[in-house]
Amino acid sequence: MTITVEVKMSRLSKNDPSSYAQPENLVTRHVDLFWNVDFASETISGEAHLQFETVAKEIEQILLDVSDLTIDDVSVQTEGGKIPVNFFVSDYVKEIGSKLTVELPTSTSDDLKVIIEYKTSPKASGLQWLTPENTLGKVHPYVYSQCQAIHARSIVPCQDTPQVKFTFRAEVTHPPELTALLGGVRVSSENGKTIYEQTTPIPAYLLAIAVGAIVSRPLGKISKVWAEEGIVDECAEEFSETSQMLAIAEEICGPYVWKEYDLLVMPPSFPFGGMENPCLTFITPTLLAGDKSLATVVAHEISHSWTGNLVTNANWEHFWLNEGFTMFLEGKIAGRMFGNPARDFHAIQGLSELQDCLQGQLAKTPEMTKLVPDITGLNPDDTYSSVPYIKGQNFLRYLEDLFGGPSVFEPFFRFYLEKYKYKSLVSDEFKATVYEYFNGKADDKLAQVDWDLWLNGEGMPPIIPNYDQTYSKTVDQQAEIWNNNTVENIKKHPDINGNLHIWELIELLTVLVQNPNNVEITEDWINLLEETYGLVGTRNSANLFSLSRLYVKGRLFHRIDKVFAFLNSNFRMKYVRPIYRDLNKWPEAKPLAVENFLKVKNQMMKCCSLGVAKDLEIEVDL
């Protein structure tokens, strides 16, 4: 029977402030999923068979995370068959979900198999259902998942904490005219039934499914790119360097253990640049620039195959152990492909992004600028920012430079990956590993690291590494011209360079958005900027993002339609949230921004729509 009981936030797991699970008592080792994908009701229904290893001496109940799930029945599998058991679902805690308590027939220290029959909600935060009108082909519906950080609980009852890893097998029933993809290796697909397996343990947030009119093209021996028919060839060209990036990552990190590496180019509603689902990276279509200039995001997602997926943060307070390490590795891949100045420029661009984040998104919450923030009582989505990415990357680069450069630090990096592969850890364990490796080798260097300042200090990184300035000098020179001259003087300035490398142009526009001199952004200034750098008609989303922010910053009201056109062309949070925050500070434009958001909010994933509502400081029913 089902009983609803009240639960307080303080009763979440002592090991993970975002989960009710108690892995100190038992841990999930394998899950068998039997799913029916129903587009008519916008639900997934079926069964989850969870196999647990009991850790405690004796347990009487199992606690799982759920969110907006209808639990129909719970039973325990025994040698004699299934035994129905009592279960209780707690009150829903906003943006966190509920606790499912499963009462065992008797206290036990044995391993367990629990069978749960359930159905998702049409409003499941981890699923995005698209009508045919919202797809490229306009014929078939589409559904995809996004489980990071704590949205797996809206798709399956689980221990939704990254400290628990499990293998899975999934049998998915779906419309036979559509293709189903999951984050694993396909076993079979026939007549609307697709089976996948993942034999390498993963945390719940890496569960992934997509069902739609999707086709593929080859990228390499173990890689394909999937997308809707209308763009798949373009995608194959844009991401043709995938196999090269994967090979470089293996040179740095060691063998790739996931067997396959496919890309799925998502519908525009996908809220992130990429999501590192094992075997099946989800990628935003905003990367389709036509010149591979934004394709290093693929290097980032490939890097997650080691830093994040193989070695994982134990909870979301230590997210930098995923993203800082991945940014660090992404930079190394870029350096090997394009040279060390490119690697360092990549890092310098990140510092610009971080500065913008601190001055904007996190201006009122400096405690969230720590590498290891306290997120008790918060949805991890609310704490998402560039801090773990960029500050974490700079910390690792500082350590690499301090200990003697790549030739010294990369062997340590491989030692770290080997030590923690298939495991999850917190920052103190990383610190202990640094000491374990370098004790007796570099004691004087170890003494110089102020761990407390790096991990718990607020604001920008306490030390900025000595990055190569080859590319950034050009950007700084161009920015100086635009920030300190009239339009007429800019036109005849001898040092104006209209032939910047695309990376330099992206960074220049970013710097101009952040310019400290508050240059007057007029129509003539914008026109000259666009003409000088060939930005009229650009399809590069990074540059369209910066141009939109410049239009808003200059209060160029007659260009607001262009701003909304960009906002409605994609719902990538990195782009839409800063623009909505900018619009919120423009009194004349805010009502139009709210009106536009309300029209499109149902096309966004919940994590995006919730974030934008907060950016606009409005309450909406989502």
Q: Tell me the residue length of the chain.
A: 622
Q: What is the dihedral of CA 293, 295, 300, 302, to 10 degrees?
A: -150
Q: What is the dihedral of CA 297, 302, 307, 310, to 10 degrees?
A: 150
Nearest to 205 by CA among 148, 288, 275: 148
Phi, psi of 81 (to 5 degrees): 125, -170
Q: Do the beta carbons of residue 225 and residue 217 sit within 8 Å?
A: yes
Local structure of residue 557 (DSSP, 8 states): G
Q: How many Cβ atoms are within 10 Å of 531's Cβ, its own excluded?
A: 12
Number of H helices, E strands in the chain: 19, 23
* 38 strand-pairing partners: 43
Work out the end-to-end distance of the chain between its first and last CA atoms, rounded to an integer number of angstroms: 29
Q: Do the beta carbons of residue 618 and residue 611 sit within 8 Å?
A: no
- Which helix (H) or strand (E) segment is 113 a member of? strand 112-119
| Owner of token pair 């009763």 | 11
Contacts 24+ apart (CB under 8 A), 364-368: 366/458, 366/459, 367/458
| Owner of token pair 């201006």 | 363
* Residue positions annotated with a catalytic role: 301, 389
How many angstroms separate the CA atoms of 157 and 65, rounded? Answer: 6
Q: What is the DSSP string of 323-391?
A: HHHHHHHHHHHHHHHH-HHHHHHHHHHHHHHHHHHHHTTTTT-GGGGSSS---TTS-GGGG-SSIIIII
Q: Do the beta carbons of residue 223 and residue 263 sit within 8 Å?
A: yes
Residue 216 tokens, joined: 């593929």
How many angstroms separate the CA atoms of 545 and 561, rounded? Answer: 14
Q: Find all residues with CB under 8 Å of 372, minimum gap 6, and list them.
A: 317, 318, 320, 427, 455, 456
- Which helix (H) or strand (E) segment is 197 a member of? strand 193-202
How many angstroms separate the CA atoms of 450 and 11, rounded? Answer: 34
DSSP, collapsed to helix, strand or coil, labels residue 439 as coil
Q: How many Cβ atoms are within 10 Å of 573's Cβ, its own excluded?
A: 21
Residue 487 tokens, joined: 């339009």
Q: Do the beta carbons of residue 617 and residue 584 sit within 8 Å?
A: yes
Q: Show the DSSP H helices in 185-260 as ranges.
A: 232-238, 242-253
Give the largest CA-CA distance in the chain: 87
How many angstroms separate the CA atoms of 240 and 243, rounded? Answer: 7
How many angstroms separate the CA atoms of 539 and 526, rounded? Answer: 17
Q: Do the beta carbons of residue 598 and residue 618 sit within 8 Å?
A: no
Q: How many Cβ atoms are within 10 Å of 528's Cβ, its own excluded?
A: 17
How many angstroms separate the CA atoms of 369 and 354, rounded? Answer: 10
